[in-house]
Structure 1
Amino acid sequence: MTNSFFQHKQTAHCESGVISNLLGHYGLQISEPMAFGIGAGIFFGHLPFVKVNGVPGTTYRIWPGAIFQRVCKRLGVRMESEKFSTPEKGMAALDKVIEAGIPVGLQSSVYYLPYFPASYRFHFNAHNLVVYGKQDGQYLVSDPVMDTVTTIDPESLTQARFAKGFPAPKGKMYYPVHVPPTASFEKPIKAGIEQACHFMLKVPIPMFGVKGIRFLSKRVRNYAENPGDRKATLYLGNIIRMQEEIGTGGAGFRFLYAAFLQEAAVMLNKDELSKLAGELTKTGDLWRNFAFAAGRVCKSRSADNVSYKELSDMLLECAASEEVFFKKLAQVKL
C-alpha cells in the first residue's frame, strides 16, 4: 500500500528530523530546531573506552533516542516502541503497522542503506528514518537527511535494522499512539534549556560537557606519542567524521541549537536568547576551523602543516567559548 499523505521535509539531523516529520503528520507542528532544543540535544562527550570502528568515540549531541524521549514526555506524546529478537518478527511487525497506514520510525545502520552515496555508507547504527508504506515489494522511505522520499528493498532494510555492533538496533521501531492536537512549548523550552546547561556544565565526569572538550584537548596534544602518528591519523579522522558527517556534526549541532534559541526568543519574548544564538554561531565557526585544520593533518599524514599542540589549543578555544555561552544561557530568567 502507499501512504501519499505523509509529508517529507528534509532536515539537518536524523533524530530531530524524524520527530518533526512524524509529529507533523499528526498535526502537531514542531520545527527540527525546536525538537532539538526541547530535547536538549546539544552535548559533548569523548569516550576513549567506547570504540567506534576501533577508535575512541566522540559525540557532539546527546545519546541516540534521548531527544525523542524528552520531546515526547514534554509535549504529552505517547509512543509505542519495540525491539525484536529476530529479523522475521521485526519485519512482520513493521508490515502490520504500515498496512494500517501508520508511518513508522526506525533505527538503522547507515552502511546498509543503498540510497546513500557509497562514501557515506559506514558502520553507524543510530540512524533514524521513517517508513510510511510499501509499493511493488519496496518500502517507501522518508529519510530526513535526504532531499526527497526514496525506496528500499526488504533485504537491505532487514540488514540495516538488524546490523551487528554498537549500538545494536535490534529492529527498533516506534510510532505515535497519542499526539495532542496542540501543545504549549513554553515549559518544554525552559526544561530543555535547563537540562542542556546542566549536561554541558555540571556533569561531574571529566569526559562530558565543557570538561569533555578540555579532556579531548589534552589527549590530542599528546597524539604524536600516544597513540603515535599512524593511529593518531585514524583517531583524528574519527573526531572529524563524528563532527562533520554524522547527522549535522559538532558545528552543525551548534548552528541547529542557535536556530532553536531564535525560535525560543520569539515564543518566550526573550531578546537575550536571540543575542546568545548569535554567540553560539561563532562557536560553531570555531569547531569548523578545528575540523578544517585537523583534516589537513589527516591528509598530509603528518603534522607538518598544523601541530597537534595547535589543534589542542583550538579545542581549548572551543571549550572556553562554550563555557561562557552556557553560563550566560543558564543565567537567563525564563
Structure 2
Amino acid sequence: MTAFNHVQTAHCETGVISNMFRHYGLTISEPMAFGIGAGIFFGHLPFVKVNGVPGTTYRIWPGAIFSRVCKRLGVKMESRKFSSPDKAMQALDEMIAKGIPVGMQSSVYYLPYFPPSYRFHFNAHNLVVYGKNGGDYLVSDPIMETVTTIDRENLIQARFAKGFPEPKGKMYYPLEVPGKVDLKEPIKAGIKQACYYMLKIPVPMFGVKGIRFLAKRVQKYPEKEGDRRAGLYLGNIIRMQEEIGTGGAGFRFMYAAFLMEAGALLQNEALKSIGKDLTAVGDLWRNFAFEAGRVCKARAANNISYKELGNMLLHIADEEEKIFRRLSNVKLA
C-alpha cells in the first residue's frame, strides 16, 4: 500500500472523501464530492440548542455526504462503532498494522493540534489516522496544512466525547473502491437531490424557506429576546457561518466550484453560468456576516438594524431560490 498523501481541503467530511478515495486510486475533487453528495443545504433549528442558542446549518447533516458519495460511486465502506475505548483502539491498531488508513469521527475539543480558540464541543469532525510513531498516532486532518500527530489518550477522548452526536469510537475504511467511475449519473443525482432539499422539502425551517424563516426571527430578536440574548443568537449565526466547518459562504463557494467543474465535464454551459452566479450569493452571505458582526460588537454608531439584517437574509433567500430553480431546469442529457 502506498504512503498516505495528505492534501489540505476546505471541509473535513469532503476532505476525507477526496484524500481517502485518492489513496485507493479514485481521484475526485473536494467540490465534486460535495456536489455528488448533495451537501448544499440550509436549516435553522430554534428548538435544537447549540451551546444554549438555536442552531443554524449551511450544509446537510454530518455523514450524509459520505454515504451518498459512496453509494453513487459504488464504493463499499466498512463502518464500526464500539462500546468501549479499549475495543475501539485495538480495532484501530489492527487496521493500521495492515497498512489501511482509517477515517473516524471525533470531537474537535480534544484535538490538541487545534489552536485553543478553535477547540469547541463539536462531535462530528472527520479525520484520517494512517499510522503510528511510537505511542503517537499519525493524523491526516484535511483542514490542517500538514499531517500531524495525536497521543493515545487525547484520541480516545476525541473518539468517545459525550454530547450530540456521540462518536462512540466510529471508524470507517473502504472495502472496495472502483478504479474509474463515470461521474455523469452521480452528478445528475446529486443536483436533483440538492434542488429538492433547497426548494421542495416540506419543512419551513429548511432550504430557502428556512432562510426566510430565520430572516423573520432575526428581525424580531431585540423585542422578543432582549438585547443581550439577541446578540448571542446573532453571534451564533455568524459563528456557524464563518468559523465552524467551512461555513455558509464557504459551502456556497464550494458548490459553485462543483457546478463549474461539472459543467466542464459534461460540456454544459448552463451549469458553469449558474456556478458563477452562486459565487455572487456566497459574497452576499459574507456581507451579511460582516454587518451582523458589527452589530454584535457595536463597533460603530451607524450599525444597521436587526430589521435590515433580516432584509439582507430575505434577499439572499430570493437569490438562492433563483439559483436552484434555474438549476432544477437544466437539461442534463
TM-score (norm 1): 0.97
Q: Structure 1 residue 111: deviation in Å? A: 0.7
Distance change >3 Å, CA 302–CA 219, structure 1 → 2: farther
SS for the counterpart of 2:25 is: coil
Superimposed CA distance per residue, residues 179-237 of structure 1 (whole angstroms, 9 cap, x where no aligned partner): 01111100000000000000000001000000000000011001102221111111111
Q: Structure 1 residue 301: deviation in Å? A: 8.4
Question: What is aligned with 1:80?
Answer: 78
Distance 2:51 2:329 in 1: 40
Question: What is aligned with 1:317?
Answer: 315
SS for the counterpart of 1:64 is: coil
Distance 1:303 1:309 in 2: 16
- Across the aligned residues of Structure 1 and Structure 2, the Cα RMSD in angstroms comes to 1.3
Say if 1:297 and 1:304, in contact at 8 Å, map to a contact too: no
SS for the counterpart of 2:258 is: helix
Structure 1 residues 60-139: aligned runs within 5 Å: 60-139=58-137
Provide the aligned length of Structure 1 versus Structure 2: 332
Q: Structure 1 residue 299: deviation in Å? A: 1.2
Aligned AA for 1:227? E
SS for the counterpart of 1:133 is: strand
Aligned AA for 2:55? G
SS for the counterpart of 1:123 is: coil
Q: Structure 1 residue 31: deviation in Å? A: 0.3
| 1:326 equivalent in alignment to 2:309 | no
Structure 1 residues 148-187: aligned runs within 5 Å: 148-187=146-185
Say if 1:113 and 1:121, in contact at 8 Å, map to a contact too: yes
SS for the counterpart of 2:137 is: strand
Distance 2:158 2:96 in 1: 18
Aligned AA for 2:138? L
Distance 1:169 1:229 in 2: 36
Question: What is aligned with 2:195?
Answer: 197
Distance 2:245 2:264 in 1: 26
Alignment match of 1:245 (pick from 243, 246, 249): 243
Alignment match of 1:275 (pick from 267, 273, 287): 273
SS for the counterpart of 2:193 is: helix
Say if 1:141 and 1:152, in contact at 8 Å, map to a contact too: yes
Say if 1:197 and 1:326, in contact at 8 Å, map to a contact too: yes
Deviates more, 1:298-307 or 1:151-160: 298-307
Say if 1:223 and 1:232, in contact at 8 Å, map to a contact too: yes
Gap regions ≥5 residues in structure 2: none
| 1:233 equivalent in alignment to 2:244 | no
Q: Structure 1 residue 245: deviation in Å? A: 1.2
Q: Structure 1 residue 304: deviation in Å? A: 6.0
Aligned AA for 1:130? V
Distance 1:96 1:236 in 2: 46
